Amino acid sequence: MLARPRLRALCLRNARHTLPAQSQRRQINHFVSQNPPTADQPPPSQPQTTFTLAVKDNITTVSPLPTTTCASPFLASHASPFQATIVTQLQSFGAQLVAKTNLDEFGMGSHSTHSAHGPVAQSLGGSPYSAGGSSGGSAVAVANEEVDLALGTDTGGSVRLPAAYCGVVGYKPSYGMLSRHGVVPYANSLDTVGLLARTVGRIRELVVERGLWKVWDGRDPTSLGEATRRRCAEGREGCNGEKGRGLEGVRLGLPVEYNIEELEGRVKDAWVEAAGRLEERGAKVVPVSLPTTRHALSAYYVIALAEASSNLAKYDGVSRGQGFGEEVKRRILLGSYTLSSEAMDNYFLKAQAVRRLVRRDFDRVFRLENPLQDEQEVFDLSEMSDDIPMESKLGPAEVDFLLCPTAPTLAPKLEDVMSGQGVLDAYMNDVFTVPASLAGLPAVSVPMPVEGEERMAGLQLIGQYWDDAKLLGVAEAVSEVLRGTK
């Protein structure tokens, strides 16, 4: 048993698509445009509306909210000629699109403050706090119970971090599972569509029971083909929608390298407390080692910024110095440098090598094999931390999922973010989320209570590639335990 111890004027304003007028909503600023839900019944050929939906404003929609701004002056009045596949899929399930949500410009940020529409905030005790980024608007809409489900994008934690700060559930699927057609790209090898809801069950119903995970989209070059999906699903529990067995016999790994100096004591205590409660419900909790973790954040920002600079090169070079915000310009410059002939070998290529090592670390600690790898990785015992016990002479215990905080800190006050937090501090918020993104793995953040705090932390579960169905089932059980309902 573990011990417990301004462009604000560029915002869309017209008769059909207006920003919310209430003072509370002006304060939190989470909607870019809104189409209030109606009681009108859908045509007979369409399903009855079963849930309301908000969509991050870097995901294209055509009706009833046709504009996609990416929170950037460049796209202030851009109307997409087509709709994102994921939005169409959810509408076929009965979703009613009621809002487009605010974000960091082009998804680049950790607090949803780098927006042409102004910063997003969540209100706690009457004070504005960071909503996390870059899908902060989506997370706030869910937390305020204004929508049942919200779409975000997760490149290095942009769904999971806002979920943690706002006390909701945030899910990043395996890379290539959910279609990205219609998503304005940030970093192509990392971008995923993510879902936010108040319960894991809502997300599990759509992804697993209603079969979102099965759907190949030929318009998305990163979408796994149908045959590959079937192969990846072989031996994966829960892919046919069956309910899992809960926590009994599930082995959870606590990465020792995640116990970093920047981890707040309150968050660490809540992590240990949660692990202990899960053990009481039948899970087995063991320490594991992910040696490359200390290099993952640096590698992520080299790769992501290089890809971002390439993606944003299509915007007019004469005007983008004025059109882009400071954070986007910073990332373009850094990314362009890492792709330069004098720096590529020292930065970009080395970051790609680190990415392979991060994926190797995950493959070595999971019981399940990675279906995209020909051979199962094994530990070189000389690389392991002395803190990791051997299960047998062959090496340490293998686990089903990793259990760790989603963010190293609780949500900071918005004024502190706007005035005092440095760029490196903001980047550090992603330290626990980027490893799964580099490896393309599924991950879920569920709300984790913190003793004596109104603010919630996030508890993250990370699974092997394409083990999304079981991950969501276990995350649902974990969430029930943390809420005290199981």
Q: Which residues are catalytic?
A: 56, 134, 158
CA distances from 76 to 29, 72, 98 (A): 16, 6, 19
Instruction: Name residue 480's amino acid.
Output: E
State the angle between helix axes of 326-338 and 293-311 in degrees (0 to 180), rounded to the nearest 10.
Answer: 100
Neighbours of 326 (CB within 10 A): 10
List of residues 6+ apart from 67 with CB closer than 8 A = 12, 17, 33, 77, 78, 79, 80, 100
Neighbours of 458 (CB within 10 A): 32
Q: Which two three-digit tokens encode residue 333?
A: 């410059």
> Can you say whether residue 450 is alpha, beta or left, with left for phi > 0 and alpha for psi between -120 and 50 degrees?
beta
Query: What DSSP line would sit under 317-380, residue for residue?
Result: TTTHHHHS-HHHHHHHHHHHHHTSTTTTTTTHHHHHHHHHHHHHHHHHHBSSPPTT-SS-----
How far apart are the C-alpha atoms of 74 and 29, rounded to whole Å?
20
CA-based nearest residue to 216, from 228, 207, 208: 228
Task: Locate the DSSP E strands across 216-313.
Answer: 251-255, 284-288
Helix (H) or strand (E) segment spanning residue 272: helix 265-280
b/e map 100-135, b = 16+ CB within 10 Å: bbbbbbbbbbbbbbbbbbbbbbbbbeeebbbbbbbb
How far apart are the C-alpha atoms of 78 and 426, rounded to whole Å?
29
For residue 393, report the phi and psi dihedrals to the nearest 5 degrees.
-65, -15
Task: Work out whether strand 127-130 and strand 169-172 pair parallel, antiparallel, or are unpaired.
Answer: unpaired
Residue 106 gets which letter from DSSP? G
How far apart are the C-alpha atoms of 444 and 35, rounded to whole Å?
29
3-state secondary structure 164-200: HHHCCEEEECCCCCCCCCCECCCCCCCCEEEEEECCH
Place of tokens 């109606």: 38
How far apart are the C-alpha atoms of 155 and 172, rounded to whole Å?
9
Cβ(207)–Cβ(468) below 8 Å: yes
Neighbours of 455 (CB within 10 A): 19
CA-based nearest residue to 156, from 402, 419, 355: 355
